[in-house]
Structure 1
């Protein structure tokens, strides 16, 4: 029998280990994204062997990934039951909203001090797009613009600690099942509140920007509190995310 020549090892793609499998940090990023974007649902079990096959890593790497996500509050691990996607309760959602309010008010203050003309122009343009969406009754597009505006304010603040903490809180909230913007009348009030925030940032009025953001986010918390307290078993829950 002819000798079979040894097979040459496959070239390892960038970012992968020697076996051609996804590196642990890439596996972490993929699984986190699946949780944050709702592809994995709250309370869904995270089975190590299934995750290892889906992510292309060993079970040791999967355990490391799950431990990182547990530290972020996205995963819970129960003895003898394994890991699952953490469900944010209504009480937690309100607490997270209140914590974000303090941090985003700080970010608005710093944005008023540090925002560039280009960043202010982006905020103005985003407000204009939100206005168009509001007039068209497209509340989901309005909510997307809302998220872009808050992200730009945080970016313009140059406050890395606030930005990091806000990102962690957002990751926990993004799967919550209500949209305050869908509450009747809330979107019009929200637009006026956002306009005051941007006006204060544009004029470099740090006190006014912080106050306007606190005012806005206190109304978000109030709306969320009213929504959760008014829920009854026969009511149909408002779907999807909470956006500020």
Structure 2
């Protein structure tokens, strides 16, 4: 992929995931070409890559449209993620290093500070780092790759769930439980803790779906 195509791909992808470009919105190649200052052919290549990630759908003679997921589809994705995260956490608890445990502990302290300061955007970034360390500690690479794909599909929902009253406090407590099980190398507890965390995310989205679109 050329540098220009990569730039166009990242530009469009970022705006899909942060909600600037909305679900069901048509993506007009000529408009994107002017907006990004690249050729239409470059935009076309970028859109094809986004289609492979299931972020847009492309129809002949109709162009590209940002994918929209029904509540049922979101719930299904999260049920799959819950099962996969359990497998990942079990493996991570058995293989996590002391340095990684220290990193998680420091992240939790920063997450707690962000929550108290209502810095939701920063909390969300630290949250992703927390999970990335857990994924790196796991030996099940295939499961982490599948979770990464699902998280990409649902990223537009993730940040908004933290805006639901009380959800950020619950999220922090859930991460503390995950951390405690990893620190104790308790595989069964790690699996249970992370599955509960994902289950709560699913319930939050289910109960507030109309506000999260």
The TM-score, its normalising length taken from structure 1, stands at: 0.74
- Contact residue 107 and residue 157 of structure 1 kept, 8 A: yes
Match of 1:56 among 35, 38, 41: 38
> Where in structure 2 are the equivalents of 1:1-244 lying within 5 Å?
22=3, 24-52=5-33, 54=36, 56-57=38-39, 59=41, 61-176=42-157, 179-228=160-209, 231=210, 237=211
Aligned partner of residue 175 in structure 1, secondary structure: helix
Alpha-carbon deviation of 1:116?
Answer: 1.6
- RMSD of aligned residue pairs (Cα, Å): 2.7
Structure of greater Rg: 1
Report 1 or 2 for greater relative contact order, CA contacts < 8 Å, sequence distance ≥ 6.
2
Change in 2 beyond 3 A, CA 1:87/1:215: same
> What do the CA deviations read for 1:198-236 (whole angstroms, capped 9, x no partner)?
1111121111111111122112212221223xx5xxxxx
**1:90 Cα deviation (Å)?**
2.8
Equivalent position SS for 2:68? coil
Contact 2:157-2:212 within 8 A present in 1 as well: no
Q: Is the 8 A contact 2:205 2:212 kept in 1?
A: no
Mapped to 1, the partners of 2:127 and 2:159 lie a distance apart of 15
With the length of structure 2 as denominator, give the TM-score of the two structures.
0.83
Cα–Cα, structure 1 residues 62 and 185, in superposed 2: closer, same or farther, change >3 Å?
closer
Number of aligned residue pairs: 212
CA shift for structure 1 position 77: 1.7
Structure 1 gap ranges (5+): 1-14, 17-21, 232-236, 240-244
- Quick check: 1:177–1:238 contact (8 Å CA) kept in 2? no
Could you tell me whether the CA contact under 8 Å between 2:8 and 2:46 is conserved in 1?
A: yes
Following the alignment from structure 1 to structure 2, what is the Cα–Cα distance between the partners of residues 180 and 105? Answer: 21
User: Aligned partners of 1:116, 1:157: CA distance in 2, in Å?
Assistant: 10
- Unaligned 5+ residue runs, structure 2? none
Cα-to-partner distance string for 1:72-106 (whole Å, 9 max, x where unaligned): 11011234321122223333222222222122222
Please give the alpha-carbon distance, in whole angstroms, between the structure 2 residues aligned to 1:178 and 1:70: 23
Offset at 1:48? Answer: 2.9
